Chains A and B, each alone.
Chain A
Amino acid sequence: MKKAIIQLEPLTCPSCVQKIEGATKSLDGVEKESVNVLFNSSKAKFDFDDEKISIEEIVKAITALGYDVKKTQVKDK
């Protein structure tokens, strides 16, 4: 299990949060309960299983929605 913090471009609409949350939760290997998208600090935090999915794939899913990823941090849990 790894813990990831992704810094996004500044989010401006609360429905962006719902979209990113929905997209991240739908990925296999991402711990659904742990997904937390922070509106004001424009960050996504979640735990994921790095044997099932790589952080690059998750980042790709978010950028595909049209949100720039500024910085990614992954730590062991």
Chain B
Amino acid sequence: MQRFILGKKNLIALIGGVLIVIGFTGEWGFKNEEIAMWAFALASIAGVAPIAIQAYQALKVKVVSIDVLVTIAVGGAFLISNLEESAIVTFLFLFGAFLEQRTLNKTRSAIKELIEMAPESALKQMENGEFEEVEVDEVDVGDILLVKTGAKIPVDGTVLTGEGHVDEASITGESLPVSKRKDSGVYAGTILENGTIQIIADRVGEDTTFGKIIELVEEAQDSKSEAERFINKFSKYYTPAVLVLAFIVWLFSRNIELAITILVLGCPGALVIGVPVSNVAGIGNGARHGVLLKGSEVIQDFSKVDTIVFDKTGTLTVGSPKVAEKEMYGNNADEVLGYLSSVEKESDHPLAKAVIDYIGDAKTYTVEKTDVVKGGGIVAYVDGHRVAVGNVALMDQENVRLNEKARADIVRFEENGNSLVLTAVDGELKVLMGIRDQIRPGVKEDLKRLKKLGVKNLVVLSGDNQGTVDLVARALGLTEAHGHMLPENKAAYIEDLIAKGQIVAFVGDGVNDSPSIALAQIGIAMGSGTDVAIETSDVVLMNSDFSRLPHALGLTKATANNMRQNIIIAVGVVWFLLASVFFSKWMNMSIGMFVHEGSILVVILNGMRLLRYKLRR
């Protein structure tokens, strides 16, 4: 019976609404008080039934809920034969709950989308060797699974046989499909674009990377900040306090009407729902844009950040060096470049790769008697010439004379932060190349956006030498740059900043810098969804995408603001209602309930704005 009534709440609201209309038509249209009375009475009784049941259940577990306040208020109105009001109040309460449910579902939609990406079934190899479709929960570690084109990979696993391309956007954010063959690792929740593979399950269910991401987001949207815990505690005492207040008012004034009006006006509806709504919408927006925020505490902290520290130059640079500057000496350039590229093809040094990429198509010569000089470069014979490729030390060793211009060029190249590759043919300098790391495209604009959002200090701590670090810092307008830093130096530096009272966010890749990530008030992992990054940090930027950082900061600021607005709306409404019941004539129970339900919808709709949040360019 109880369940039946609760299940039909929406229908009851509708019936109540119809009865109220009948009541008013009877009263005003036909001047028939009797019809009106019966209609309002029926509406009140039907409407209060589900509310009273909820109130009873709450009291059973020692909770004074809003339902309790409303039930008493409606009962009181009934007693003093104010049937019109009791009917309207129950209707508004039920109809409000219906609207709240609809809108709340919208604010939760972003996270629901994420959860719905989870795989549901798998083709598992049974004892007879056949593959059968089973629920994903029935897959255990070590099971062999078949994945066909277009299907979701059900678990984290390793490819046994077959080949194909997998769309891993759900894990890494990378939109290009990744090729998989025997021994490749695959992730749950990713989609096999073409081909057919058999995999062995390594991790299943919540242990998969995708499972962890979902769990993290779910926990995050329900985690509570200091302020929220306060409100929860507050509302635990608040509702009983309203009850007591109403009772005292009745005791002194003997005015039931006034007492029950206070019960309705004191309902804390918007107050308890305002903050969780902002929270879920903000975290949902992040999840959609590749930013995982671990809870509302993190949102509060991050929104106040004034110092952002980057763990290495590699976060800001591309990480693959390129030839940035070049000087040629003497003639026959094409021939020399051919020699150079042929020699460099013998080497696996990272600078050699940059040189080959830069020269591109050149004539290839046979290289003989290759000799790798440790800490210097390569010496080899090409086309009968002795070719030396390497640094200045190697040139000295080879007795290559450097003229005035070459020496000036070398100084200039070094000042620009280049590593040098010199090429000499038969003891004569022919080519000087300056190779350096490139700033990641867009990083400069992203840093500007961070500054605009109120970040005062942008710091890079790097293991590279000071020259390289300074160069990056100057190019990007960082406030501070320190080279030669080991992980423990970085941690000490962070501690120092915190001691100075700054609110520090540390951006790292989450593996070797986990001490700093843990130390900083906000640890930000630029991970492609690796376990360590997900676990140790407060914020995860999926797919190491730097451009998500300004979005993340802007979003936390918007979310923190949104929470504040909702608290102000909720508290303001309660004060306004209580003040008007004491100081004005027009306030009554129905208007009070109407304003209340209205304020709840306003805070939910306000929270919903966060779903569409985008950083203004």
Listed in ascending order, the chain A residues whose CB lies under 8 Å from chain B are: 10, 12-15, 18-19, 21-23, 26, 38-41, 43, 63-66, 73
Nearest A residue to B276 via CB reads A39
Given contacts A12-B100, A73-B137, contact A43 B218 (CB under 8 A): yes
Chain A residues within an 8 Å CB radius of B232: 14
A18 touches B276 (CB 8 A): no
A18 touches B65 (CB 8 A): yes
Chain A residues within an 8 Å CB radius of B97: 12-13
- What 0/1 pattern do residues 231 to 251 of B give for CB contact below 8 A with A? 010011000000000000000
Whether B280 is near chain A, meaning CB under 8 Å from some CB there, is: yes
Q: How many residues of B contact A (CB 8 A)?
A: 35
B3 touches A66 (CB 8 A): yes
Listed in ascending order, the chain B residues whose CB lies under 8 Å from chain A are: 2-3, 6-7, 53-54, 57-58, 60-63, 65-67, 97, 100-101, 104-105, 108, 111, 137, 218-219, 221-222, 232, 235-236, 272-273, 276, 279-280
- A/B interface sample: 28 pairs, CB < 8 A: A12-B100, A12-B101, A13-B66, A13-B100, A13-B272, A14-B235, A14-B272, A14-B276, A15-B63, A18-B61, A18-B65, A19-B63, A19-B65, A22-B62, A22-B63, A23-B61, A38-B219, A40-B108, A40-B222, A40-B279, A40-B280, A41-B111, A41-B222, A43-B218, A63-B3, A64-B2, A64-B3, A66-B7
Bound together, the chains give a CA A47 to CA B315 distance in angstroms of: 42
Chain A residues within an 8 Å CB radius of B280: 40
12 new A-B contacts at CB < 8 Å, known A13-B272, A14-B276 = A10-B108, A12-B100, A13-B65, A13-B273, A15-B66, A15-B272, A18-B58, A21-B61, A38-B219, A40-B108, A66-B53, A66-B54
Chain B residues within an 8 Å CB radius of A40: 108, 111, 218, 221-222, 276, 279-280
Distance between A66 CB and nearest chain B CB, rounded to angstroms: 4
Bound together, the chains give a CA A65 to CA B63 distance in angstroms of: 13
Q: Which of A13, A19, A66 contacts B6 (CB 8 A)?
A: A66
* Smallest CB-CB A-B distances: 9 pairs: A22-B61, A15-B65, A66-B6, A38-B222, A14-B272, A41-B218, A40-B221, A40-B280, A12-B101
Chain B residues within an 8 Å CB radius of A66: 2-3, 6-7, 53-54, 57
Chain A residues within an 8 Å CB radius of B100: 12-13
Nearest B residue to A23 via CB reads B61
Chain B residues within an 8 Å CB radius of A23: 60-61
Nearest A residue to B275 via CB reads A14
Given contacts A14-B276, A73-B137, contact A19 B57 (CB under 8 A): yes
Chain A residues within an 8 Å CB radius of B273: 13-14
Nearest B residue to A22 via CB reads B61
Chain B residues within an 8 Å CB radius of A65: 57
Chain B residues within an 8 Å CB radius of A38: 218-219, 221-222
B104 touches A10 (CB 8 A): yes
Nearest B residue to A66 via CB reads B6
B58 touches A19 (CB 8 A): yes
Distance between A43 CB and nearest chain B CB, rounded to angstroms: 7
Distance between A55 CB and nearest chain B CB, rounded to angstroms: 15
Chain B residues within an 8 Å CB radius of A13: 65-66, 97, 100, 272-273
A26 touches B61 (CB 8 A): yes
Chain A residues within an 8 Å CB radius of B67: 15
Chain B residues within an 8 Å CB radius of A19: 57-58, 61, 63, 65
Nearest A residue to B105 via CB reads A10
Q: Which of B53, B63, B104, B137 contacts A18 (CB 8 A)?
A: B63
Bound together, the chains give a CA A12 to CA B105 distance in angstroms of: 9
Chain B residues within an 8 Å CB radius of A39: 222, 276
Chain B residues within an 8 Å CB radius of A41: 111, 218, 221-222
Distance between B52 CB and nearest chain A CB, rounded to angstroms: 12
Distance between B77 CB and nearest chain A CB, rounded to angstroms: 22
Nearest A residue to B6 via CB reads A66
Chain A residues within an 8 Å CB radius of B219: 38
Bound together, the chains give a CA A13 to CA B108 distance in angstroms of: 14
Bound together, the chains give a CA A37 to CA B359 distance in angstroms of: 63
Given contacts A19-B63, A22-B61, contact A12 B54 (CB under 8 A): no
